[in-house]
Structure 1
Amino acid sequence: MKAVQVSGYGGLEKLELVETPVPKPEKGEVLVKVKACAINNTEIWMREGAYGTGSNSGWRPEGIKFPRIPGSDITGEIVQCGSEEDRLLIGKDVVLFPFTSSGERGNEHIAEDMSFIGSEYDGGYAEYVVWPADLCFDMPLKTYSDSAAFSVSGLTAWHMARQVDIQPGETVMVTGANGGVGSLNIQIASKVFGAKVIAITGDLKNEEQLKALGAAEVLSYKSTRLQEEILECNGGPVDTVLDVVGDALLAVSLKVLKKGGKFCTSGSAGGQITQLDLRILYLKHITMYGSVLGTRAEFKELLQEVSNGKIQPVIDKFFPLEKAREAQDYFKQHGKTGKVILLPKTGDDLQI
């Protein structure tokens, strides 16, 4: 099969298109013919070593074992099973829950042995992938590409909303609003939980699109009056900030939060290292949350809301699998809205 592997830490040159054997499912596993795989920051940061330095640059302390096939937002068709009892799954269209762990129900995402597809396991930048049968869920939408827009970004956004316990009528500020997590944060906060959303983006050419997703106000982080504009359009401080930017907007975010407000971060695209005046936290009684991924129960909740039509896929552009370098490069550019999707061209006559 064709696959794109990461050969080591580094730049785009570390992404290599290769021919590699089709993986074989073992007991309890299935072989999935990959039909779509969305791109996330996580596989780029994995390649760049942004989770740490040297051997400490993955989800697990031991780091990444190269070569590794990245990709975690995967949809496809089950074509083979490793166990006879799972044979009825053949032909089923599925979306993959993106990690394994031995954590108890409700704590799967914080277990010490949490292992991520595309990082600790080979992922979806390939024509086929093997995954546990019980972590393959019914596809929520009719098309593979639309259904691939939710796994990691959607689960992360849903878990963020659950952590901060968004209430109807509250004001939620969403940073990185045009990205995969940000665009879903807007929809989930507004259309599922009934909050007023202030979306922060770079280019206001996306304003109408973000308002269609549920944003009440759209502001540019490039404004020299951003803090004042946030307070003016809300008539005062906001209740919660859902952040994926990090350092670049941290100071403003904390200043516009009300006393007793909540700040939840799941990314740091605008800077991973920051300075923090702790006095702001304790004098304003701010609660800070670190958030990434979520639980299986939350994944089911998310997929149900997607299936019900409350949450829509937001897709910016498609690339063939062979153009993975170009796709990751495009993903990092500013101004796009939504997900970037890789589409493998799988040979139907491949012997498996």
Structure 2
Amino acid sequence: MKAVQVTGYGDIDKLELVNRTIPEPKENEVLVKVEACAINNTEIWMREGAYGTGSQSGWREEGVQFPRVPGSDITGTIVKEGSSVTPSMLGRDVVLFPFTSSGKAGSEHYSEDMSFIGSEYDGGYAEYVVWPAHLCFDMPLSDYTESAVFTVSGLTAWHMAEQIQIMPEETIVVTGANGGVGSLNVQIASKVYGARVIAIVGDLALEEDIRQLGAAHVLSYRSVNLAEEILEINDGQVDAVLDVVGDALFSTSLQVLKKGGKFCTAGSAGGQKTELDLRTLYLKHITLYGSVLGTREEFERMLQAVSEGKIKPVIDCTYPLEEAKAAQTYFKKAGKLGKVVLLP
């Protein structure tokens, strides 16, 4: 089979197109013929070493064992089962839950042994992948590419919303609203929970597209008066911020939050380190949430919302697997709307 593997920490020159033996499913695993694999920050930061300290980077303390096939947002068809897997799974079109864990139900994402597909396991930048059968779920939509955009981004966005317990009629600021997680944050907050969304993007040429996703207002982070604009259009401070940007909008977020407001972050594309005046935190009674992925039950609830049409796929473009370098390069550019998807 064709596969794209990462040979070590570094730039896109560490991505290598190779021929590999098709993997064999173990007793409780299935072999999936990959039809689509969406790109996430996860595999880019894994390659660049941004998750770890020093030379280590990955979801586990020991770092990534190279070479590694990246990719975690995977859809495809089960073409072979392990010896203990029910034969009824053969031929099913599935989306893969992205990590294994020994954690109890409801806290799987907290477990120290959480291991990620595409980081600790070979992932979806390939024509075939093996994965535990119980972590394969029916696709929420009939289209492979459309169903592939929800795994990591969808679970992340859904968990963020559940963490802060969004209420109808609240006002939620969503940063990075044109990205994979951000575009889903807009939809989930507005169309699932009934909140009023103020979406923050770079390019206001995307305004109408973001409004179609459910945003009541769209503002640019390039504005020198962004905080004042948020306060003006909302006629006051907001209830919560769903953030994937990090440092670049952190002080603005705390400034526009009401007393008792909530700030939830699941990314730091605009800077991984920031400054915090603790007086702002305690004088405004602000609650900070860190958010990574979520639980299998949340994943199922998210997929159900997708199948019911409450959340729609947002896809910027697709690339063939062989052009993974170009796809990752494009992924890092500003101004995209939604996901970039690799097609084996």
Shorter chain as denominator, the TM-score bin is over 0.9
Aligned partner of residue 239 in structure 2, secondary structure: strand
Query: Partner of 2:328 in structure 1?
Result: 328
Alignment of 1:311-322 (within 5 A): 311-322=311-322
1:220 aligns with 2:225: no
Inter-partner Cα distance in structure 2 for 1:67 and 1:95 = 24
Q: What secondary structure sits across from 1:22 in the alignment?
A: coil
Residue 192 of structure 2: aligned partner: 192
What is the TM-score when the length of structure 1 is the normalising length? 0.97
Which structure 2 residues correspond to residues 17-28 of structure 1 after superposition, within 5 A?
Answer: 17-28=17-28
Task: For residues 148-194 of structure 1, give each alpha carbon's deviation from its aligned partner in whole angstroms, at most 9, with x where no partner exists.
Answer: 01000000000000000000000000000000000000000000000
1:4 aligned onto 2:23? no
Shift of 1:54: 3.4
99 and 85 in structure 1: CA distance in 2 versus 1, 3 angstrom threshold: closer
**1:83 Cα deviation from its structure 2 partner:** 1.9
Is residue 172–residue 196 contact of structure 1 (8 Å, CA) maintained in 2?
yes
Structure 2 equivalent of residue 173 of structure 1: 173
SS in 1 for 2:56: coil
Cα distance in 1, alignment partners of residues 84 and 134 from structure 2 = 14
Deviation string for 1:60-118 (max 9, x for gaps)? 11100000000000000000001254222111000000000000010001111000000
1:123-147 residue CA offsets vs partner (Å, 9 max, x unmatched)? 0000000000000000000100000
Written as runs of structure 1 = structure 2, the 5 A alignment for 1:1-352 is 1-344=1-344
- Matched to 1:119, the amino acid is S
Per-residue Cα deviation, 1:216-243 (whole angstroms, up to 9, x for no partner): 0000000011010000010100000000
The alignment partner of 2:86 has SS state of helix
**Aligned-partner residue type, residue 267 of structure 2:** G
Give the counterpart letter for 1:19 in structure 2.
N
- Measured in 1, the distance between the counterparts of 2:284 and 2:85 equals 56
Matched-pair contact (CA < 8 Å) for 2:7–2:67: yes
Alignment partners' CA distance in 2, 1:202 and 1:3:
34
Specify the SS of the correspondent of 1:305. Answer: helix
Q: Taking structure 2 as the reference length, what is the TM-score of the superposition?
A: 0.99
Cα distance in 2 for partners of 1:280, 1:303 equals 37
CA deviation profile, 1:255-307 (whole Å, cap 9, x unmatched) = 00000000000000000011111111001000000001000000000000000
**Which amino acid is 2:335 matched to?**
G
CA distance in 2, matches of 1:19, 1:56: 27
| C-alpha distance 83-210 of structure 1, shift in aligned 2 (>3 A) | same
CA deviation after TM superposition for structure 1 residue 27, in Å: 0.5
CA contact (8 A) 2:306 2:312 kept: yes
Secondary structure in 2 matching 1:319: strand
- Which consecutive residues of structure 1, in runs of 5 or more, have no partner in the other structure? 345-352
Partner amino acid, structure 2, of 1:307: S
> Partners of 1:298 and 1:292 in 2: how far apart?
12
Cα distance in 1 for partners of 2:45, 2:92 equals 32
Contact 1:178/1:201, CA 8 A, preserved across alignment: yes
State how far apart, in whole Å, the 1-side matches of 2:52 and 2:66 are.
Answer: 16
**Contact 2:51 / 2:57 at 8 angstroms: preserved in 1?**
yes
Helix, strand or coil: the match of 1:26? Answer: coil
SS at match of 1:18: strand
Contact 1:55 1:62 in 2 (8 A): no
CA distance in 1, matches of 2:269, 2:6: 21
Q: What is the count of residue pairs matched by the alignment?
A: 344
Aligned counterparts of 1:178 and 1:207: Cα–Cα separation in 2: 9
Q: After the TM superposition, which parts of structure 1 deviate over 6 Å for at least 4 consecutive aligned residues?
A: none
1:179–1:336 contact (8 Å) kept in structure 2: yes
Q: Aligned partners of 1:84 and 1:165: how far apart in 2? A: 39
**8 Å contact 1:170–1:239 — kept in the other structure?**
yes
User: Percent identical across equivalent pairs?
Assistant: 73
Q: Secondary structure at the match of 2:304?
A: helix
Question: C-alpha distance in 2, partners of 1:233/1:68?
Answer: 47
Amino acid at match of 1:297: E
Q: Kindly state the Cα deviation for residue 56 of structure 1 after the two structures are TM-superposed.
A: 2.7
In the aligned structure 2, how far is the partner of 1:312 from the partner of 1:271? 29
Alpha-carbon distance in 1 for matches of 2:19, 2:85:
31
1:86 and 1:133 in contact (8 A); partners too: no
